[in-house]
Amino acid sequence: MPGTLFLFGRTGYTATRLADALRTQGWRVTGTTRDSFAGRESDLAAATHILSSVPPGETDPVLDAYRDTLAAGRAWLGYLSSTGVYGDVQGAWVDESAPTGTGRRTARAAADAEWLALGARVFRLPGIYGPGRSPLDRIPAQRVVKPGQKFSRVHVDDIVSGVLAALDAPAGAYNLADDLPAPQHEVIGYACALLGRPLPPLVPIEQAELSPAAQGFWRENRRVANGKAKRLLGWRPRYPDYRLGLRALSATTSPASTSTAPATASSDQR
């Protein structure tokens, strides 16, 4: 039956699409922006489900404000985390049993663990793409190449379907990723082919001009396994690989609207 979802960070990229999906099913959705948390105890008490898409700073601001309230309540809890909690495993597959907290995102790993301790469904997400946020919208000026490096990714609508599938699921961590980790330069090349745009030059990682944040991103290499979500949630990604996802997006993307941008690290905005 439809319930009431309270969303911390309701204006986030993924949270906005989740809210829209729930409203079409008759849910009531309320929440906060990423910057205003105070005085929401009565709203939290009225919610049947509570989900946070707010990334941590040095600590998790939602937990800092409402940890005791969340612990004492009976609402379903959810948290949009990151597969960055796994750190670098030199290209190996990682599932939810893998150690966390060894990578560059120590604050995210700490928040991930705290939400799990509260009994939340923690959704560990790789690079997120979707409408307005894919290589079809911003083609990098270079295609960085690092032998053996592969990245996992997920379409935003597959995150939404995964969260919906977990509304009646046991607490715990769930990786929501597609089935095909792939080198970033291949994804960019495919986007260029769909747009009829020339390929940016291939640049070895040693010669690439990368920001410190991007350098940290490229130092971590892992492939994200999604078997637990498939088994326990009955979830299947609508876009199991980047080709299907980008083809669907290309139907609504104009080549003239695509900009060129420097190579950067993936965003941590959920």
Picking from 27, 40, 227, the residue whose alpha carbon sits closest to that of residue 54 is: 40
C-alpha 126: how far from chain center: 5
Query: What 3-state DSSP class applies to 131?
Result: coil
Structure tokens at 131: 């409408």
Picking from 218, 245, 228, the residue whose alpha carbon sits closest to that of residue 96 is: 228
pTM score, two decimals?
0.93
Q: List the domains of the chain with CATH numbers.
A: 4-261 (3.40.50.720)
Cβ-contact 135, 191 below 8 angstroms: yes
Q: Which residues contact 256 (CB under 8 A, 6 or more apart)?
A: none
> In this structure, what are the phi and psi dihedrals at residue 236, rounded to the nearest 5 degrees?
-135, 130
pLDDT digit string (tens) for 82-135? 999 999 999 999 999 999 998 888 999 999 999 999 999 999 999 999 999 999
Burial class (CB in 10 A: 0-12, 13-18, 19+), 109: buried
Element (H, E) at 57: none
pLDDT of residue 33: 81
Picking from 250, 270, 240, the residue whose alpha carbon sits closest to that of residue 154 is: 240
What whole-number distance in Å separates Cα of residue 242 and Cα of residue 238? 11
Q: Is the pLDDT of residue 267 over 70?
A: no
pLDDT digit string (tens) for 218-237? 999 999 999 999 999 999 99
What whole-number distance in Å separates Cα of residue 122 and Cα of residue 261? 32
Which amino acid appears at position 187 of this protein? V
DSSP code of 182? Answer: B
pLDDT digit string (tens) for 24-75? 999 999 999 877 778 899 999 999 999 999 999 999 999 999 999 999 999 9
Neighbouring-strand partners of residue 173: 122
pLDDT of residue 269: 54
Which of the pair, 124 or 268, is modelled with greater confidence?
A: 124
**Mean pLDDT, residues 167-176:** 97
pLDDT of residue 38: 80
What whole-number distance in Å separates Cα of residue 188 and Cα of residue 127? 14
Which amino acid appears at position 211 of this protein? S
Q: Which pLDDT band holds residue 186 (cuts at 50, 70, 90)?
A: very high
| Torsion 68-42-123-63 (CA) sign | negative
Residues in the chain: 270
Q: Is the pLDDT of residue 207 over 90?
A: yes
Q: Helical H runs in the chain?
A: 13-24, 41-46, 61-72, 106-117, 156-165, 184-195, 212-219, 227-233, 242-250
Q: Which pLDDT band holds residue 263 (cuts at 50, 70, 90)?
A: very low
Exposure string of 220-251, with b = 16+ CB inside 10 Å and e = fewer, is bbbbbbbebbbeebebebebbbbbebbeebbe
Q: What is the mean pLDDT of the chain?
A: 93
**Cα distances (Å, whole numbers) of residue 267 to 64, 127, 264:** 23, 8, 9
Which of the pair, 11 or 267, is modelled with greater confidence?
A: 11
pLDDT of residue 265: 43
**Cα distances (Å, whole numbers) of residue 41 to 38, 111, 258, 264:** 8, 21, 43, 38
pLDDT digit string (tens) for 232-248? 999 999 999 999 999 99
